Amino acid sequence: MEKFETFTGIAAPMPLVNIDTDMIIPKVFLKTIKRSGLGVHAFDEMRYDRDGNEIPDFVLNQPAYRKAQILIAGDNFGCGSSREHAPWALADFGIKVVVSTSFADIFFNNCFKNGMLPIVLPQEQVDILMKDAERGENARMTVDLEAQEITTSEGEVIKFEVDAFKKHCLLNGLDDIGLTLEKAAAIDSFEAKARAERPWV
Amino acid sequence: MTAPKTLYDKIWDAHVAHEAEDGTCLLYIDRHLVHEVTSPQAFEGLRMAGRKVRAPEKTIAVPDHNVPTTLDREKGIDNEESRIQVEALDRNAKEFGIHYYPVSDVRQGIVHIVGPEQGWTLPGMTVVCGDSHTATHGAFGALAHGIGTSEVEHVLATQTLIQKKSKNMKVEITGKLKPGVTAKDITLAVIGATGTAGGTGHVIEYCGEAIRDLSMEGRMTVCNMAIEGGARAGLIAPDETTFEYVKGRPHAPKGAQWEAALAWWKTLYTDEGAHFDKVVTLRAEDIEPVVTWGTSPEDVLPITGVVPSPEDFTGGKVEAVRRALDYMGLTPGQKLTDIEIDTVFIGSCTNGRIEDLRAAAEILKGKKIKVKRAMVVPGSGLVRAQAEEEGIAQIFQDAGFEWRLAGCSMCLAMNPDQLSEGERCAATSNRNFEGRQGYKGRTHLVSPAMAAAAALTGRLTDVREMM
């Protein structure tokens, strides 16, 4: 996994609440056996008409937001299915950070596994970022994970919380499986104990 | 004396293989269920790293999302990508030596129906699957939740999941359900009350008389949709109903092991005085047969209601409702029972079990459908066989339903079972998201009995008028 580094980028406003995983990546694109190449299909049914033409109103089709790296979204972003194709599609599009008042748990976890940072903020602060994002491509925000800060285009600094372990993994681009395998002895001894206590499992 | 624990606390504590100082745990996984859509990249990851499946005996795979449900499916899958995905699972199951129910096996079906049916799911277990509806298995008092593909790979390689403990939430349904009201109405009513983010960060324990009164099938329906309420998992404490269901299943413990298991399972309940971070209580008597009118499972109303107006809501929901009504082609103030239905779908991991088919058949018996098309997709080959034996299949067919083979089918429409643009469906599945059942398709979530009632009248209908 690539290391998550401080960057300055364009933020796209998506104020709709309950943006679900079927919206982020419709099921027709779940048939792939790869992780890559889904960016062109991110938000497919909102982004293209039936003939594959872009729908100009959709935010990521607007000239100002075509290269967005940050999404400022409505409540409960990523609700629905466990499909990791959703963060794969967003990451492949170029999204590195999603900000909302809340995320669905599975989507939230899936983001971290793919080098993406989901940030939860109170409504008032999401509103500030939403307003800033609406100003288009000149409104570039800076996300500094180390300092846990987002800086708006006008220099306003907003602090955010992040789980320490997840932050460590993102900053260092660490592979979870490798880390867990370092604890193989603990798993072995748990397994032996569980087998004795619950042999029917 | 130790502090009183919730059911979730007890199962959690019994599965922590390692805990770091910051509370990040390695949770040991007892059962890992696998299907073809969310696993190919995980197996590929193992192969690339030269890793094996750590506990193949605890790993069970079945193709369900992509498989055709038409009777001629042995001829193979037409769609190339779907075929490749199912073939990849065939190959991976063989290569990594995991339990497998291929399409040709009569036991094949939706992973969340096959697991319990075969006795893989047992009380007190941790169960994961790369599928959000893994919550279903919570009906057994198992801690069961959906995971992403990276986590699937992590569990395959290590048999553990990196987790922090969720909060405890109690959803109590007091009293008795009225006639015509089912488990599906309970679970939708709860989501209607709490919202689709109401359970976020929590594990829900469902309890109360109305939950106790449910069969295992009904409990699975309730827990299945815990994820629709945002919860990581839903749980119901195991009791005699649970033990009765589990006993004698192919992979359930037997003899002395059964007795030992039973003794432990009987300790799996929430202690008196245990702390819940959030409590929601509904009276069963207040729950009516419900339907969804919008594009989120929280958009739910009693069938006696009318389509709401965006102005009835506040905040970001106003725009979401405007968009939903436009998508659904509905007008505020319209009676729900005036909404005409084109298609009826009975099936899915929410409502594809034998009891669901019985409930629908009860309403359909001796009658004919008025909708353009109606299909029943049993949740597994064994459910299908049982329904045929009980004469239920014949009732469906006589009424004009298509009688299909097992799979996820039109719940998410990854196979050819899809709605066309503007087609309106009463469905017993779990999501009414935009495009869920087909591009621009319109979904109303209902119970099996309500789906059957809609099939007979051609509009959303209060099933109580037919009882």
The amino acid at residue B399 is: A
B1 — pLDDT class (breaks 50, 70, 90)? low
A-B interface: how many C-beta pairs under 8 angstroms?
Answer: 193
What's the mean pLDDT in B238-249? Answer: 98
Token pair 């939950």 is at which residue?
B211
Of B58, B24, B60, B45, the C-alpha closest to B148 is B45
Q: With an 8 Å Cβ cutoff, is A31 touching chain B?
A: yes
What's the mean pLDDT in B98-113? Answer: 98
CB B361 within 8 A of CB B396: yes
Cα nearest neighbour of B410 on chain A? A27
Closest by Cβ to A83, choosing from B38, B227, B433: B38
Residue from B149, B322, B420 to probe the interface with A (highest A Cβ count within 10 Å)? B149
Measured CA to CA, the distance from residue A95 to residue A66 in angstroms comes to: 11
Closest by Cβ to A84, choosing from B65, B150, B436: B150
Measured CA to CA, the distance from residue B59 to residue B155 in angstroms comes to: 10
Which chain A positions have a beta carbon within 8 Å of B145's beta carbon?
106
pLDDT per residue over B260-270, tens digit each? Answer: 999 999 999 99
Closest by Cβ to A22, choosing from B147, B159, B434: B434
pLDDT at residue A169 tops 90:
yes
The tokens describing B317, both together, are 């929901």
Token pair 């599609």 is at which residue?
A89
Whether residues B158 and A177 touch (CB distance < 8 A) is answered with: yes
ipTM above 0.85, yes or no: yes
What lies within 8 Å, CB to CB, of B141 at 6+ separation is B7, B11, B123, B124, B235, B236, B237, B238, B242, B265, B268
Per-residue confidence (pLDDT) for residue A152, from 0 to 100: 97
Which chain B positions have a beta carbon within 8 Å of A114's beta carbon?
150
Burial B314-342 (b: 16+ CB within 10 A, else e): eebbeebbebbbebbebeeeeebbebebb
CB B303 within 8 A of CB B277: no
Whether residues A17 and B130 touch (CB distance < 8 A) is answered with: no
Whether residues B18 and A74 touch (CB distance < 8 A) is answered with: no
Whether residues B148 and A22 touch (CB distance < 8 A) is answered with: no
Per-residue confidence (pLDDT) for residue A181, from 0 to 100: 96
Per-residue confidence (pLDDT) for residue A186, from 0 to 100: 98
CATH architecture of B167-238+270-286: 3-Layer(aba) Sandwich (3.40)
User: Strand A149-151 vs strand A140-144: parallel, antiparallel, or unpaired?
Assistant: antiparallel
Measured CA to CA, the distance from residue B394 to residue A114 in angstroms comes to: 49
Per-residue confidence (pLDDT) for residue B264, from 0 to 100: 98
Whether residues B122 and A201 touch (CB distance < 8 A) is answered with: yes
Residues flagged as binding site of B: 349, 408, 411
Which chain B positions have a beta carbon within 8 Å of A110's beta carbon?
148, 150-151
More confident residue, A47 or A137: A47
pLDDT per residue over A12-24, tens digit each? Answer: 999 999 999 999 9
Q: Looking at CA atoms only, how far is residue A116 from chain B in angstroms?
A: 13
Which chain A positions have a beta carbon within 8 Å of B26's beta carbon?
180, 183, 186-187
Residue B304's alpha-carbon distances to B210, B287, B334, in angstroms, are: 22, 12, 11
The amino acid at residue B200 is: T
CB B342 within 8 A of CB B424: yes
Q: How far is CA B445 from the centre of its chain?
A: 13
pLDDT at residue A138 tops 80:
no
Measured CA to CA, the distance from residue B313 to residue B320 in angstroms comes to: 10
CB A39 within 8 A of CB A92: yes
Closest by Cβ to A20, choosing from B14, B319, B433: B433
CB B423 within 8 A of CB B442: yes
Torsion angles phi and psi, residue A169, rounded to 5: -65, -45
Per-residue confidence (pLDDT) for residue A1, from 0 to 100: 85
pLDDT per residue over B137-176, tens digit each? Answer: 999 999 999 999 999 999 999 999 999 999 999 999 999 9
User: Strand B160-163 vs strand B167-174: parallel, antiparallel, or unpaired?
Assistant: unpaired
Fold match, B7-166+239-248 / B167-238+270-286: no
The tokens describing A161, both together, are 């919380």
Whether residues A177 and B49 touch (CB distance < 8 A) is answered with: yes
pLDDT per residue over A118-129, tens digit each? Answer: 999 999 999 999
Q: Which residues are B160's β-sheet partners?
A: B28
Cα nearest neighbour of A14 on chain B? B316
Q: With an 8 Å Cβ cutoff, is A147 touching chain B?
A: no
Share of chain B above pLDDT 90, in %: 99
Q: Looking at CA atoms only, how far is residue B442 from chain A in angstroms?
A: 14
pLDDT per residue over B211-234, tens digit each? Answer: 999 999 999 999 999 999 999 999
- Concatenate the DSSP letters of all residues of B65-78 into one string: SS---STTGGG--S
Residue from A14, A23, A24, A27 to probe the interface with B (highest B Cβ count within 10 Å)? A27
Q: What does DSSP assign to residue B246?
A: H
Which chain B positions have a beta carbon within 8 Å of A18's beta carbon?
196-197, 296, 298, 320
CATH of the domain spanning A7-197: 3.20.19.10
Q: With an 8 Å Cβ cutoff, is A12 touching chain B?
A: no
Whether residues B316 and A22 touch (CB distance < 8 A) is answered with: no
Q: Where are the domains of chain B?
A: 7-166+239-248, 167-238+270-286, 294-465
Q: Which residues of chain A from 106 to 145 reach within 8 Å of chain B, CB to CB?
A: 106, 109-110, 113-114
Q: Looking at CA atoms only, how far is residue B257 from chain A in angstroms?
A: 6
Closest by Cβ to A110, choosing from B148, B166, B201: B148
CB B198 within 8 A of CB B168: no
Mean pLDDT of chain A: 96
Of B294, B221, B249, the C-alpha closest to B445 is B294
Whether residues A30 and B414 touch (CB distance < 8 A) is answered with: yes
Beta strands per DSSP E along B111-190: 126-129, 143-146, 160-163, 167-174
Superfamily of domain B7-166+239-248: Aconitase, domain 3 (3.30.499.10)
- The domain B294-465 having CATH identifier 1.10.10.60: the answer here is no
